[in-house]
Structure 1
Amino acid sequence: MSEPAPKVSVIRMYKAREEIYPREIKGWYASWRWVCVWLTQLVFYGLPWLSWNDRQAVLFDLAARKFYIFGIVLWPQDFIYLALLLIICAYALFLFTAVGGRLWCGYSCPQTVYTEIFMWIESKIEGNRSQRMRLDKQPMSASKFAKKSAKHLVWGLLALWTGFTFVGYFTPILELAESVKTLSLGPWEWFWVLFYGFATYGNAGWMREQVCMYMCPYARFQSSMFDKDTLIITYDKERGEPRGARSKSAAKSSLGDCIDCSMCVQVCPTGIDIRNGLQYECIGCAACIDACNSVMDKVGAPRGLIRYSTDNAMRNHLSDKEIRKRSMRPRVMIYTAILVVIVGVFSGSLMMRTSLKMDVIRDRGSMGREVEDGMIENVYRLQIMNTDEKPHKYKLSVSGIDSIALSSSEEVELKATESRAVPVRVRIGAGKGEKGSNKIAFELQAVDDERLHVKEKAVFIVPR
């Protein structure tokens, strides 16, 4: 007797996307989400158009290797400030996550912000949740085609404007606008406008929650930053269960406060049911809290069936005062202390930063040579940078050996934000200095500003 054929099972590593139609909801948290939308977009779209000292206020000029941030001009040598800024952002994320969970994801993440904007456009053109669901089930018609086309046209225009603004941070936006008018953008500018616009259109218009669930690494490692006292969106099972619809005559003791209306699921942008517990798909937007509170108001039950709380608070029935007290736990204190120290170092170094830089490079082709009258000469190249936005005249001097002096010009004049290599010849008298290397120092002092002063060490070679 032959053995039955083995069964073939298909394991899908990627779940096919099911269309999610989030219901619009009004409430305290929804209002704060829109405040964040307005604030972030006013900053993003508005900053490139601000002027500062007759230039763009915020401009990352990669071609000239200069970063302009209001009154600060950063050069490649100032890379440490970028590193410190990234460290500050990382620790701030750790701190906010340890205290309040995924606040960044729910309120300020570009993916969340643009998805919110795109869904608002969708609702204005195609209608509310039920109207959009009916529209998608209908066969293609002139009305459906017109609505879909209008929606994608508005999405596309907003995405292109977003790409244009993004490139405007790296190319002066007024010049960029003129180039767009004449269709004379450079190849890289075309690429980044279209690429960033396509990414915005695809992520916020089509992929939406898929980005948060499958592409964003933060959703995967967030649990390592959570603990039992981290504020998360929670469902009060003791109060809500057993759930179910009830009539006015139903006994209060037979059912919990949850009427199983599924409003918390309908408003969720990732389509999860928060009543099943914390899930990595939850972005902490609190839409379910607003929805549940509105339902509780209608049925005459107290708010807070779904609320921001902690695992400890839910298990041990802690009060709000105890929750706030536990928020200042060792992990939070350590994150805060480290963040304060780094911010202090960053701010202090920026405040003490001088707008004059000098690097000394000795000419290796001439280790030290004897010139007229037995004098010894060394040749150097000084890389001088005036990072100020005003021109300055500087006086150069050298010290370290008796009778050491410059045989080239002692004055250097640099334009605003100019960098220049200045060849310098240095001589000492015959018999001065020790054979071999001698320590010397170059000093550069601004004639018109005594605060602009820099001193760099170097080596003077006396032939043996």
Structure 2
Amino acid sequence: MDKSSISEQHVILKVPASPAKIYIREQNGRFQRIRRYLNILLVGLFVLLPLIQFDGRQAILFDIGQQTLAIFSVTLYPHDLAIFALLFILGAFLLFYVTQLYGRVWCGYTCPQTVWTLMFNWVERRVEGSHSHSRTLDKQPWSGEKLAKKSLKHSLWVAMSLGTALVFISYFVPARELYSEFFTLEASLLIQGWVWFFAVCTYINGGWLREKMCQHICPYARFQSAMFHKSTKLVAYDATRGESRGPRKRGAAKPEGVGDCIDCNLCVQVCPVGIDIRDGLQYECINCGLCVDACDDTMDKFNYPRGLIRYAVDSGSKSTWGAHLGYGAAVLLTVTMMFVWAAHRHDFEVSVSRDRQSLYRINHQGDIENTFVLKTLNKSQHSKHYSIRAEGLQGMQINGPTQIEVAAGEHATTVLAVSVPKTPGQKKNDIHFYIEELASGESLARETIFYAGSGAW
């Protein structure tokens, strides 16, 4: 493929002429195998992760009521939102970097919309036959056979959608509890409503919207072209080698003046979004490689070299080391920030506030006393013991509990009266509370103000 043919395909944009239903032809090949194995892995993880148990509880669970996310031995709270922001930033940089290298491979190989679309299409092919059989069946008048096939197909689609919804909800409701209560009709109306809501969404997306989601709804399809570069590896048709196209018999000599493309149209029939890659680059293309597999099969049958349609780059493209270094630096910086966050994260949170009723008082011993409210959140998954001490003024004493126990995931509120001898001096001083987790020695310090009243110091 020469530079001119690829460059031309980088500027041609084709808008689908008709919103007619797309009947996706099944295709085997190396890229389809890559996608199939990758999808089996991803869908398997999606289904199995909520079933993993850790320390007597579900290993991964997002508890909306408690606003916590449990990931094995770590429980994340709203205080830990920084890590979510960093994860999203890291994912965005990686996605943009991969897009610049290989175009929309995320869409073609790992996007849930594509995965479920091809899963639904697989069921359709098993029930209705090939894509041409499905087209013929849709054109036929209603009959017993058509009703049976359509009913079976949609019943399987509904079952797949319901299974998908249950798995998704099991990340928010304990899986064992969810499955048993849902199928015995003991689940609350709220949970049942959410399950059926996501089941309907899955059914509509995988069975009906399909490519329309990629073409008209997904924002990534719209702005991804801004990340393309001449060095981006995209599915492209070698027009110089393929044109002019025309049919011919297998085994016969190639007619004079025609290219390698036999105009079999298989590249269009296998495309999940229904485009013709021979018309040049189109924003609908998800770089899935199905047309590459279809064309390679045809080239093999006619003893032509493979690669008439292939992943290719502009032969005149220049090095993009600047982009590599830029994205690499961004990813490295984000990962470093994640490690820094992890190193400074504590398994408990503490806040100290003063008693709002009075600034100070004189106790029975004649000492000046301030009251503080200590709130401790145990973010771990086990009960913890903490010690409390205060520093900052000579003779300071805590009149209250200096050791507390906080259950896993619980808030503990401790009222402390802190007193110091009455001495002339300043009206107020800064003091510090130190809260230490006894088992690990991990501690936190919180600063507050001790008021002594007018002229007390």
- Give 1:273's aligned residue: 276
Distance 1:431 1:288, change over 3 A: same
1:156 to 136, 155, 158: 158
Per-residue CA deviation, residues 387-423 of structure 1 (Å, 9 max, x unaligned), is 2222221111011111122111101111223222222
Q: 1:445 corresponds to which residue?
A: 436
In structure 1, give the amino acid aligned to 2:234: I
1:354 aligns with 2:311: no
CA deviations 1:75-131 (Å, max 9, x no partner) are 111111111111111111111111111011001111001001101111111111121
* Runs of 4+ off more than 4 Å: 13-16, 247-253
Q: Could you tell me which of 425, 435, 459 is aligned with 2:449?
A: 459
Given residue 456 of structure 1, which amino acid in structure 2 is its aligned partner? R
C-alpha contact 1:433 1:462 (8 A) present in aligned 2: no
For residue 352 of structure 1, report the CA deviation from its aligned partner. 4.3
Q: What count of residue pairs does the alignment treat as equivalent?
A: 439
Please state how far the C-alpha of 1:146 moved relative to its aligned partner.
0.6
Unpaired runs of 5+ residues, structure 2, are 1-14
Measure the CA separation in 2 of the matches of 1:434 and 1:230: 69
* 1:374 corresponds to 2:366: yes
Q: What is the CA–CA distance in structure 1 between the aligned matches of 2:324 and 2:20, rounded to whole Å?
A: 39
Secondary structure at the aligned position of 2:324 is classed as helix
AA matched with 2:267: C
Distance 1:332 1:462 in 2: 61
User: RCO greater where, 1 or 2, for CA within 8 Å and sep 6 or more?
Assistant: 2
Question: Deviation digits for residues 273-323 of structure 1, max 9, x if unmatched?
Answer: 00111101111111000001111111111111111112x22xx3x7xxx8x
* Segment drifting more, 193-202 vs 371-380: 371-380
**Shift of residue 252, structure 1, vs aligned partner:** 6.5
Instruction: Provide closer, same or farther for how the CA distance between residues 253 and 370 of structure 1 changes in structure 2, counting only shifts above 3 A.
Output: farther
Asked if 1:264 corresponds to 2:240, the answer is no
What's the C-alpha RMSD, in Å, of the aligned pairs? 1.9
- TM-score with structure 2 length normalisation? 0.92
Structure 1 residue 24: deviation in Å?
A: 0.7
Separation in structure 2 between the aligned mates of residue 152 and residue 136 of structure 1, nearest angstrom: 14
C-alpha distance in structure 1 between counterparts of 2:376 and 2:35, whole Å: 48
Cα distance change, pair 97–114 in 1 and its aligned pair in 2 (3 A): same
The equivalent of 2:298 in structure 1 is 295
Aligned to 2:6: none
| Contact 1:358-1:384 at 8 Å conserved across structures | yes
Name which of 282, 287, 292 aligns with 1:284.
287
> Which residue among 385, 389, 397 is the counterpart of 1:397?
389
Distance 1:251 1:392 in 2: 80
Distance, in Å, in 1 between the alignment partners of 2:228 and 2:49 is 35
Q: CA deviation at 1:369?
A: 2.5
Structure 1 residue 178: deviation in Å? 2.6
416-425 or 23-32: which moved more?
416-425
CA distance in 1 between counterparts of 2:68 and 2:241 reads 59
Deviates more, 1:217-226 or 1:179-188: 179-188
**Deviation at 1:225?**
1.1
> Equivalent residue of 1:63, what SS?
coil
